């Protein structure tokens, strides 16, 4: 049982890594990033974050989202500057909450600063002090949480509030203000989740979500002008989630099967080597044929060896298998 728990934990870790990989490949195609690629909506986002700045225009907003699509590197959801005074990074996080978003935000910030210095041709190794915009980091969380802190920080979450050389403060947004662009995006995600529960990860669920949002005046202009793109984006995300779910089930099944064979081997070893007098030869043959042959196919398929040596290897009494991890 403990072995199965460890296997499940390993699968979960691998799945999380794979999910992160999938998100990296699809993030550029998410509804969130597609929405705010349009400066009209980006301006609305900025005004929702800074309602006091009434003079800002689309012309001073510059998209600086990390878009490294050629290598397996970091990708963030949204980054933009407001003239030379502000650098704003915004992440959209849905169902699964993790404070690791703070660490990711730090990585995004460092990469964004690096790109900014290159873009503005500033040299960090010269004596002249570089000019840099003030950074702000936000996370829009659309899932459910028992607690809703307005801000989280690296020092508080990871170092128990102790003073550290580097700290990152992330401002949390959950619902936005009624009617603003943030609130509309959050409402859109909730309607999508409701329809997915009703119709599954299907085209009908997406179409119903779009129809409902239009009726409620939620991102209605965006959804009307880019309906086909939104449908394509959502269907791709649904397909990838389905593939990931199938992968998880397959990995768990294979791991459980392997654990059962390992248990049989341990039982056979105990009976054969500790109680040989009470272990009939017929049962010994049965165990060797049914358990070890399968174990050999699982563990020795990459090494070409005779079956007799595979049996010895499985019992670890004598090891003549080249490449065996126990033989060194």
Q: With 70 as the cut, is the pLDDT of residue 165 above it?
A: yes
Tokens of 322: 């080249």
Q: Using 50, 70 and 90 to split pLDDT, how confident is the model at 172?
A: very high
Secondary structure of residue 180 in the 3-state scheme: coil
Q: Pick the more confident residue, 301 or 108.
A: 108
The rounded mean pLDDT for the chain is 78
Confidence of residue 226 (pLDDT cuts 50, 70, 90): very high
- What does the alpha-carbon distance between residue 152 and residue 205 come to, in Å, rounded to a whole number? 34
Using one digit for the tens of pLDDT, what is the confidence trace for 283-296? 555 655 665 555 55
Confidence class for position 131, pLDDT limits 50, 70, 90: very high
Residue 276, pLDDT > 90, answer: no
Q: Give mean pLDDT, residues 168-178.
A: 95
Q: Which residue has the tokens 């509804």?
A: 31
Grade residue 20 by pLDDT with cuts at 50, 70 and 90: very low
Task: Supply the DSSP symbol for 108.
Answer: H
Phi, then psi, of 121 in degrees rounded to 5: 55, 45
pLDDT greater than 60 at residue 88: yes
Residue recorded with tokens 């049914």:
290
Place of tokens 């403990």: 2
Least reliable range by pLDDT among 32-41, 175-184, 264-273: 264-273
| pLDDT the model gives residue 56 | 95
Task: Express each pLDDT in 67-87 by its tens digit.
Answer: 765 445 678 899 999 998 999
Residue 223 predicted with pLDDT over 90: yes
Q: CA of 161: how far to CAs of 26, 107, 156, 167, 261, in Å? A: 35, 20, 4, 10, 48
DSSP 8-class letter at 129: P
In this prediction, residue 306 carries a pLDDT of 52
Which residues lie closer than 8 Å to 132 by C-beta, 6 or more apart? 87, 113, 116, 117
Binned at pLDDT 50, 70 and 90, residue 197 comes out as: very high
Helical residues (DSSP H) of 79-215, grouped into ranges = 100-119, 154-159, 181-199, 203-215
**Mean pLDDT, rounded, for 177-198:** 94
């Amino acid at each position: 049982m403990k072995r199965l728990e460890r296997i499940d934990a390993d699968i979960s870790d691998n799945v999380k890594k794979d999910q992160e990989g999938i998100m990296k490949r699809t993030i550029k195609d998410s509804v969130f990033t597609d929405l705010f690629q349009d400066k009209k909506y980006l301006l609305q986002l900025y005004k929702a974050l800074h309602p006091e700045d009434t003079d800002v225009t689309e012309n001073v907003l510059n998209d600086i989202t990390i878009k490294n699509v050629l290598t397996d590197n970091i990708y963030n959801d949204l980054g933009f500057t407001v003239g030379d005074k502000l650098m704003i990074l915004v992440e959209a996080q849905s169902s699964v909450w993790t404070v690791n978003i703070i660490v990711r935000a730090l990585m995004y910030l460092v990469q964004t600063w690096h790109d900014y210095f290159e873009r503005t041709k500033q040299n960090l190794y010269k004596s002249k002090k570089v000019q840099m915009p003030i950074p702000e980091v936000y996370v829009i969380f659309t899932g459910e949480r028992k607690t809703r802190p307005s801000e989280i920080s690296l020092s508080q979450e990871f170092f128990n509030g102790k003073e550290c050389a580097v700290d990152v403060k992330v401002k949390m947004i959950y619902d936005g203000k009624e009617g603003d662009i943030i609130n509309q995006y959050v409402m859109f995600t909730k309607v999508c989740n409701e329809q997915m529960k009703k119709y599954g990860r299907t085209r009908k669920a997406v179409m119903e979500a779009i129809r409902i949002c239009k009726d409620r005046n939620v991102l209605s202009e965006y959804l009307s002008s880019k309906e086909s793109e939104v449908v394509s984006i959502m269907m791709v995300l649904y397909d990838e989630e389905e593939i990931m779910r199938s992968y998880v089930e397959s990995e768990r099944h294979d791991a459980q099967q392997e654990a059962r064979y390992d248990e049989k081997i341990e039982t056979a070893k105990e009976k054969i080597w500790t109680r040989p007098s009470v272990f009939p030869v017929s049962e010994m043959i049965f165990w060797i044929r049914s358990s070890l042959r399968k174990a050999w196919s699982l563990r020795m398929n990459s090494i070409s060896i005779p079956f007799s040596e595979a049996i010895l290897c499985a019992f670890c009494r004598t090891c003549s298998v080249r490449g065996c991890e126990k033989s060194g």
